[in-house]
Structure 1
Amino acid sequence: MSSEVVLFAPLPVLTVTIEEQGGEPDIHLHAGSQGVWQARMLVTLGAPVTMCSVLGGESGTVLRHLIEDEGVTVRAVQGTGHNGAYVHDRRDGDRQEIAEAPATPLTRHELDELYGLTLSAGIDAGAVVLSGPSDQHTQHDAVPPDAYRRLAADLRAVGRPVIADLAGERLAAVLAGGVTVLKVSHEELLEDGRITDTDQDSIVKAMHTLQDEGADNVVVTRADEPLLLLAGDTVSEVRMPRLQAADSHGAGDSLTAGVAATLAKGGSLDEAVRLGAAAGMLNVTRHGLGTGDVEAVLKLRELVTVTALGSSARGSSAKVTPQDLAERARGS
């Protein structure tokens, strides 16, 4: 098994951003979507990355070149439609949407091809990340949720670690298939109705429910609060220095990338969460989504602490050391 990470990123999006440089418009073209941002950080961390997507139309042609230029191997199905695209104006400092063209929903044939392509690549990989379309909320019909359930189940059946960063119906579907690590934010738990309060006890209870539904391990991000990790029956708090934020977008995707890169190399969950937290921490200091410097990430990793809170909500509150947690994670 290689240390390669395979990304299921079904429909990346083409982004056109207008900024200002020296009093003149400065236009940038980039590939976007959750999977692209995760891939970008994986490349930064030195992990070999293969992205499995559907690319179609003029936007798809441009996207292939942009993604490959970032050092990502692209395995794509030729779509009969087109990928999504949007134009944003940031000349006044805020994002103003000028126009957005949603992606064409996948045909049954395209979805079957993408499924087979991802499964084939995943069998040879060290870990597989399942990410959503460019907008998981507005593109409900672009990729049916059940595709995530089947893909997670089949990848687990062939012994591959599966990391998922999804919300809504796709989250429920991937849990039914089973995942090694589920990453979710407290905002997504609120939006999905899995919690009604953001206090720690409510979140921990929801994490146990997610585990019962099919996640071996659960990571919950809480904006400026420490991350929470559930491994086995042990809940831990993941703390890191609070750096000055330039843009928090993409921090969760960088976290997911760090977890995937470590697990693909056979590292423990404790090591994976530390690297992921460091990658996410550095990302918020930058304007580029999923960007960072590997040397800085590795230095910040040494400042991340994982403190076990005990077997919260499911038994005794006996304390467990970080070493105990790491041993449990290796066995999960």
Structure 2
Amino acid sequence: MAHCDVALFAPSPVLTLTVEDQAGRPDIHVHAGSQGVWQARMLVTLGASVTMCCVLAGETGMVLRHLIEDEGIVVKAVEGTGRNGAYIHDRRGGERVEVAEAPSDPLTRHELDELYGLTLSAALDAGAVLLSGPSDNGAAQDAVPADAYRRLAADLRTVGKPVVADLAGDRLTAVLESGLTVVKVSHEELLADGRAASDDQNSLVKAMYELREQGADHVIVTRGDQPLLFLTGDTVSVVRSPKLQAADTHGAGDSLIAGVTATLARGGAIEEAIRLGAAAGMLNVTRHGLGTGDVEAVLKLRDLVHVEPLGHHETGPPVTMSPRDLAERARGS
């Protein structure tokens, strides 16, 4: 196959139907969804070529293939025996209200083995690999065991590919064993996994150092509407950007990691990657479409993103305190 910038492991995309209000009348939108789809969408927006490796099955899988390919994404799919998940959301009142949700069917051992091979093949022709989790609905969360992520990350590192992961829970623990180039995790996920004692900055910094010690070269922690934290080398930085009016905050983290991966796939530096990712996430919240944006706007917003070593403008720890000192203080408390 032809070379691509990013090979994306997105096991179980879902079909989404969203009802919105258009001048007092229902306006129905049909799209492909899930974390991996939103990441792929932003990667394509940023000009990256993407090969998505997934399982497509049943009527929903048939529709999903057309929707995904129509967005300029190359699909390498296992033809599954079950079905992909789907959901219907009503957003006419301004908030997302779930109307119905059908979970994806679990993958069989044969389907998982075939998906593993497809992903490894695509990765060998890619500049970087992004490991995405299964969709959030029902049985799909159990579709891919954590050990499959561990083995995949290990094989990808063995063949010298940058590996970026947007995972949590057992899957994050598993891939850390194999080593990662970048891991992105939210502060809520750190709390849920017991990796951080609280959402205060000291606790999050401690967790970031532990993630690095466990196998991540660089660590990104998102904090909702607060500036994200970024660890590279011995330096923890705060990534500051203007707050734009939010239409929908869903998908901002996926746009962030897409910007990071797109940069690394082309040989860019990690700080350049974090600035582009922050800009992509910043723009995503202003739109209703998840993982969407305008590349020109993202590039302009990138110039407004500032990466500052922790403590540079903080009222707590003095500037002379190193990130490692801060982490040690957090451990002591």
Give your verdict on TM over 0.5. yes
Give yes or no for contact 1:164–1:179 (8 Å, CA) kept in 2.
yes
Shift in Å at residue 23 of structure 1? Answer: 2.4
Equivalent position of 2:232 in the other structure: 231
Q: What secondary structure sits across from 1:71 in the alignment? A: coil
Deviation string, structure 1 residues 198-234 (Cα, Å, up to 9, x no partner): 1111100000111111111100011122111111121
Equivalent position of 2:75 in the other structure: 74
Deviation string, structure 1 residues 227-252 (Cα, Å, up to 9, x no partner): 11111121111111111111111000
Distance in 1, Cα, partners of 2:272 & 2:4:
15
Distance in 2, Cα, partners of 1:316 & 1:246:
36
Equivalent position of 1:109 in the other structure: 110
Distance in 2, Cα, partners of 1:315 & 1:96:
42
Distance in 2, Cα, partners of 1:106 & 1:239:
41
Within a 5 Å distance, the mapping from 1:243-254 to structure 2 comes to: 243-254=244-255
Aligned residue type for 1:312: P
- Asked if 1:5 is matched to 2:6, the reply is yes
Equivalent position of 1:326 in the other structure: none
Q: What secondary structure sits across from 2:190 in the alignment? A: helix
Give yes or no for contact 1:54–1:77 (8 Å, CA) kept in 2.
yes
Aligned residue type for 2:117: G
Structure 2 gaps of 5+ residues are 311-320, 329-333
Give yes or no for contact 1:136–1:167 (8 Å, CA) kept in 2.
no
Aligned residue type for 1:111: L
- Asked if 1:99 is matched to 2:110, the reply is no
Q: What secondary structure sits across from 2:196 in the alignment? A: coil
Shift in Å at residue 314 of structure 1? Answer: 5.0
Shift in Å at residue 24 of structure 1? Answer: 2.3
Distance in 1, Cα, partners of 2:301 & 2:43:
16
Shift in Å at residue 315 of structure 1? Answer: 8.3
Q: How many residues align?
A: 317
Aligned residue type for 1:177: S
Distance in 1, Cα, partners of 2:155 & 2:309:
32
Distance in 2, Cα, partners of 1:295 & 1:146:
40
- Asked if 1:274 is matched to 2:275, the reply is yes
Aligned residue type for 2:239: V
Give yes or no for contact 2:4–2:51 (8 Å, CA) kept in 1.
no
Q: 2:324 aligns with which of 274, 292, 313?
A: 313
Equivalent position of 1:323 in the other structure: none
Distance in 1, Cα, partners of 2:228 & 2:25:
41
- Asked if 1:299 is matched to 2:300, the reply is yes
Q: What secondary structure sits across from 1:295 in the alignment? A: helix
The answer to which of 85-94 and 306-315 deviates more is 306-315
Distance in 2, Cα, partners of 1:112 & 1:263:
28
Distance in 2, Cα, partners of 1:101 & 1:38:
22
Aligned residue type for 1:89: D
Instruction: Please report the RMSD computed on the Cα atoms of aligned residues, expressed in angstroms.
Output: 1.7
Q: What secondary structure sits across from 1:126 in the alignment? A: strand
Structure 2 CA distance for partners of 1:276 and 1:21, relative to 1, 3 Å: same
Equivalent position of 1:161 in the other structure: 162
Distance in 2, Cα, partners of 1:290 & 1:74:
18
Distance in 2, Cα, partners of 1:61 & 1:27:
19
Give yes or no for contact 1:233–1:314 (8 Å, CA) kept in 2.
no
Give yes or no for contact 1:5–1:264 (8 Å, CA) kept in 2.
yes
Shift in Å at residue 195 of structure 1? Answer: 1.1
Distance in 2, Cα, partners of 1:22 & 1:186:
39
Q: What secondary structure sits across from 2:38 in the alignment? A: helix
Give yes or no for contact 1:13–1:134 (8 Å, CA) kept in 2.
yes
Distance in 1, Cα, partners of 2:95 & 2:229:
31
Give yes or no for contact 2:239–2:307 (8 Å, CA) kept in 1.
yes
The answer to which of 292-301 and 226-235 deviates more is 226-235
Distance in 1, Cα, partners of 2:138 & 2:307:
33
Distance in 2, Cα, partners of 1:153 & 1:163:
12
Aligned residue type for 1:11: S
Shift in Å at residue 139 of structure 1? Answer: 3.2
Shift in Å at residue 72 of structure 1? Answer: 0.4
Aligned residue type for 1:244: Q
TM-score (norm 1): 0.92
Aligned residue type for 2:227: P
Give yes or no for contact 1:47–1:261 (8 Å, CA) kept in 2.
yes
Deviation string, structure 1 residues 287-327 (Cα, Å, up to 9, x no partner): 1100000000000101111112374135899xxxxxxxxxx
Equivalent position of 2:318 in the other structure: none
Give yes or no for contact 1:11–1:134 (8 Å, CA) kept in 2.
yes
Distance in 1, Cα, partners of 2:295 & 2:280:
8
Equivalent position of 1:222 in the other structure: 223
Q: What secondary structure sits across from 1:98 in the alignment? A: strand
Distance in 2, Cα, partners of 1:260 & 1:137:
28
TM-score (norm 2): 0.92
Equivalent position of 1:35 in the other structure: 36
Q: What secondary structure sits across from 1:297 in the alignment? A: helix
Aligned-pair identity (%): 73
Deviation string, structure 1 residues 114-173 (Cα, Å, up to 9, x no partner): 000000110110000000111178633211111111111100110000000011111111
Runs of 4+ with deviation above 6 angstroms: none
